[in-house]
Chains A and B, each alone.
Chain A
Amino acid sequence: MRELDSARVTPFPAVATEARSRGLWRDALRRLAGNRLAMAGAAFVLLAAAVAAFAPLIDRYPPNRQDASASFEGPSGRHWLGTDQLGRDQYSRLVNGARVSLSVGILTQIVAVSFGLVVGVAAGLGFRTLDNLLMRFTDAVYAFPDLLFVILLVSVFREAVAGSATRTLVVMFVAIGLVSWPNIARLVRGQILSLRQQEFVRAAETLGASRLRVALVHLLPNTLGPVIVTATFGIPAAIFAEAGLAFIGLGLPPPTPSWGRLVADGYDAITSHSNLVLAPALAIATLMMAFTFLGDGLRDALDPRLAAREPRVRALPVRAQHRLRKAA
């Protein structure tokens, strides 16, 4: 009997490969498009990405230019979102900050997903000892206090990378990614394990396909859906982590703006100049909500059992399914 104890959370039911055709992805997209919240989320994410990409074109002042005569000004025609203590334009810092924040969010998840996929697939191959070892290793990494481990890791390299924004960012990506991968690994492993129950897998293996090939070619694509969803939830978490690090003083070297740093900087003036915290906090909050809705939507869309109106097609060859749909 297979060990299932890591596959217990099944918001992503394992459905037979045949059912997961290109048609399913298209169906999923259709369902996603129908989910208004998810679409709103996707729109905002794209907006944020655009802002980040074109930041130098849409800002109004150099983000680090200080103005001794304009300290702590409120929003006005000259400074749309006001200025901070050193007279820097908040709007410009906000749009430039999008770059750092988004890259933190996305790149950490890339690190996490890469690791998680490798470990998860390897564990799910079915070799008992390898599985055991990898899962215990995952447990061990999982046992680390997340943010505390990130702090430790960042502290180790801090002195070495302190002057450079890029290098500090890399350390952050790796640190945050390293605490996020266990979830993905478990997820992938669970998916693969249950998928391997399917007959076609046994069939393929009997026909001589190696476990690895089966896993990579047939099973992996099916896990991508849930993995993407998990990563989607991980992005805002990473942005939060960056804000937390900035708050305790382990953030990017000044003066590079990031939403987390803007929040941390504005925190001190929250009583008399709350506009400084409001803008970046709202930006982070909205981005987080956008990713959350998008993630929820993706999950709903990829779960065929929620599609009440779709015909339940099981164990039919792919092409037959297609024809059925086209006829309908």
Chain B
Amino acid sequence: MTRTTMKGVKFWALLALLALAILGMAACGGGDKDKGNGVPQVFRVRIAGDPETLDPQKAGFATDISIMRQLFRGLVYFDQDLNVVAAAAAEVPSVENGGISEDGLTYNFELRDGLEWSDGSPLTAFDWEYSLKRFFDPTLGGNQYYQSFYYVIEGAPEYNTALGTPDQPLTPAEDELARLRDGVGVDAVDDDTLQIRLTTASNTFLYLMALWPGYPVKHETIDSLGDAWTEGGSLVSDGPFMLTEWSHDQRLVLERNPYYWGPEPGLERMELLVIPDETAAFQAYQNGEIDFTAAPPAELQTLKTNPDFHAEAQLSTFGLLFNTVQKPFDDPVVRKAFARAIDRQGYVDLVLQGLGMPTTGWIPPGMPGFDPEAGQALSFDAEAARSLLAEAGYPDGQGLPTVTITTISEDIGRLSAEFVQEQLKQNLGVNAEIEMLDPPSFQMRFGSGEFQMSFIGWNGDYPHPENWVRDLFHTGASANMAGYSNTSVDALIDRAAAEKDPLAAADLYKEAQRIILDEDSVLAPIFHGISAFLVKPYVGGLVFTATDGEVRGDVLLASREVSIAAH
């Protein structure tokens, strides 16, 4: 064995080297830039996962909403200050122009002339009638979350709940369902006029009509293609862009809709690339493969000085929610003790690396009802926290049952939980456990109230405090996971809903907030969100609003001013 020449071995070695060399050479090819005559107006954005659905009446996820905002337009829409402006409707209905009846119960929307679908066929009020009635169809499926927002429409709750509840199911006959459907107060008077009747007057109805359940869908397409109607190339919409490609789990391509009634968008094309890994997405951004991505919090220290870096205030609040019907959090003094043990500034410094607004209030700045003094009773004070806990009967945490923080295993969930756990230990002497669950398990527990403490992050769907207070804190509200119930708060919320004067309404919400926070300590608000993202310098004209979805700037991404410069 010692007498060997290297020839045989060299052969294999050369082969291996050759293979590697081939691979290496392939790497050295130049980049292929797509340079046509001018600069291609293509915007590449990262999304974290494949959209669940792009069906407006079924959607609920932030990513899906961002995409639908490019594909569809409702009767009305938002401008950059979040005012409601006319979209497919010729003008925003009001009492002055006769669009809204004196009693506020009837809305008439006059459509623009010449509206067309992205396949060229005419778009009429009948399409809106179909779409809205479809929204309340109890057999529709999809995220049934937003339906109750629109129950102010006549006949809507009856139709939507026609199948009863699991405890008391109902089995209405076909014609009964049809009758209920006809009973929904949405009617196309003619091709150009849509009439909607409400059961009570509402300050927020126009906001609701600007949201995605109010986007129209084409009857014929859904009939012929069923659930596959949302695929790339099949989806028919009425907005500035159309869906030309949807390679599942890979990317979506949106291109200008030639039949759009409005001004042509500045962008010719948008590519939404599915990149699940945030760190890899950041690298892709560095590598020039995408033009826009969220700034990873862990990199914020170095990114703050990067010219591509942008920080925009969001209409959002994040806090620690207590389950008010589970020991030991059924005692408001205990809740208050825990709330006062959390150093919010420390949280913003560590978990958010400085990018957030520490707060003790729930309704964020920029919203009517915002109160800079809100939640003062919950401000950070370790001493006070300890004495409150002793007052509640658990001096130094003695006798306290095991407390658990339940959260989703995503980064901010984990970091937040670890931070709060340590705070409770240091400032209150309480050893909390952390349960990290995957999303469905978490939803199951959270939804059924099987938790003690959990985090809640709330983004505004539309700029009105009703969205912030009623849905979370009203007794029996769909998102009231804390099991909270306080009749004075309910009364305030109900009064505010009926209140015509916005200032008076804001005061009512403020008062409700005061009870929820300072008296009942239902939750410990921690921060108002500031979203951090990176945009390439050659992308111009982006405008950010406080209700942007997953893709920041999505509300106004289709505006004419958005442009891509040479790069």
Contacts and interface: CB of A to CB of B under 8 A. Distances in A.
Contact of A268 (B298, B406, B434, B437): B298
B373 interface: no
B329 interface: no
B396 interface: no
A86 B298 contact: no
Contact of B299 (A68, A159, A162, A272): A272
Contact of B282 (A250, A253, A255, A271): A271
Interface string A134-172: 000000000000000000000100110011100000000
Given A162-B435, A254-B417, A68 B350 contact: yes
B421 interface: yes
B139 interface: no
Question: Interface size bucket, A side?
Answer: 20 to 34
Contacts of A159: 437, 441, 444-445
B298 A273 contact: yes
Contacts of B283: 271
Contacts of B299: 268-269, 271-272
Contacts of B296: 268-269
Interface string B261-300: 0000000000000000011001100100000000011110
A72 interface: yes
Contacts of A72: 298, 301
Contact of A158 (B301, B414, B422, B441): B441
A249 B302 contact: no
Interface in A171-200: none
A268 B414 CA distance: 13
A66 interface: yes
A249 B415 CA distance: 12
Contacts of B279: 267-268, 270-271
A315 B452 CA distance: 71
A244 interface: no
Contacts of A273: 298
B349 interface: yes
A87 B438 contact: no
Given A64-B422, A267-B279, A271-B299, A71 B437 contact: no
B312 to A, nearest CB: 22
A268 B283 CA distance: 11
A85 B415 contact: yes
A86 B349 contact: no
Contacts, number: 92
A109 B73 CA distance: 59
B468 to A, nearest CB: 29
B419 interface: yes
A65 interface: yes
B351 A249 contact: no
Contacts of B286: 271
Q: Give chain B's interface residue range (CB within 8 Å of chain A).
A: 35 or more
B37 to A, nearest CB: 37
Contacts of A249: 409-410, 436, 438
A29 to B, nearest CB: 25
A85 B351 contact: yes
A163 B438 contact: no
Given A71-B350, A268-B411, A253 B302 contact: no
Contacts of A255: 418, 421-422, 434
Contact of B409 (A64, A163, A250, A272): A250
A53 B411 CA distance: 30
A155 B438 contact: yes
B437 A66 contact: no
A71 B353 contact: yes
From A71, A72, A254, name the one whose CB has the most chain B CB atoms within 10 angstroms.
Answer: A254
Given A254-B417, A255-B421, A86 B436 contact: no
A85 B298 contact: yes
Contacts of A71: 301, 349-350, 353
A158 B414 CA distance: 15
Nearest to B425: A64
Contacts of B417: 254
Contacts of A68: 343, 346, 349-350
B433 A269 contact: no
A269 to B, nearest CB: 4
B404 interface: yes
Contact of A254 (B404, B436, B444): B436
Contacts of A254: 414, 417-418, 421, 434, 436
Contacts of B436: 162, 249, 253-254
Nearest to B348: A68
A191 B437 CA distance: 43
A85 B302 contact: no
Interface in A254-293: 254-255, 267-273
A122 B445 CA distance: 44
B278 A268 contact: yes
A68 B422 CA distance: 11
A66 B349 CA distance: 12
A296 B343 CA distance: 53
Contacts of B438: 155, 158, 249-250
A282 B222 CA distance: 55
Contacts of A268: 278-279, 296-299, 411
A86 B350 contact: yes
Nearest to B410: A249
B435 A253 contact: yes
A88 to B, nearest CB: 9
B419 A66 contact: yes
B65 to A, nearest CB: 24
Contact of B350 (A85, A164, A250, A267): A85
Contact of B434 (A65, A86, A87, A253): A253
Contacts of A158: 437-438, 441
Given A163-B435, A255-B418, A272 B350 contact: no
Nearest to B436: A253
Contacts of A269: 296, 298-299
A163 B434 contact: yes
A152 B349 CA distance: 37
Contacts of A271: 279, 282-283, 286, 299, 302
Interface of A: 64-66, 68, 71-72, 85-87, 155, 158-159, 162-164, 249-250, 253-255, 267-273
Given A159-B444, A269-B296, 7 more contacts: A66-B422, A68-B349, A68-B350, A71-B301, A85-B297, A254-B417, A267-B279
Interface of B: 278-279, 282-283, 286, 296-299, 301-303, 343, 346, 349-351, 353, 402, 404, 406, 409-411, 414-415, 417-419, 421-422, 433-438, 441, 444-445
In the A-B complex, the 7 residue pairs with the closest CB atoms: A249-B409, A269-B298, A162-B435, A163-B433, A268-B298, A272-B302, A68-B346
20 contacts: A64-B422, A68-B349, A71-B349, A86-B351, A158-B437, A158-B441, A159-B444, A159-B445, A162-B435, A163-B435, A249-B409, A249-B436, A253-B433, A254-B418, A254-B434, A267-B279, A268-B278, A271-B302, A272-B298, A272-B299
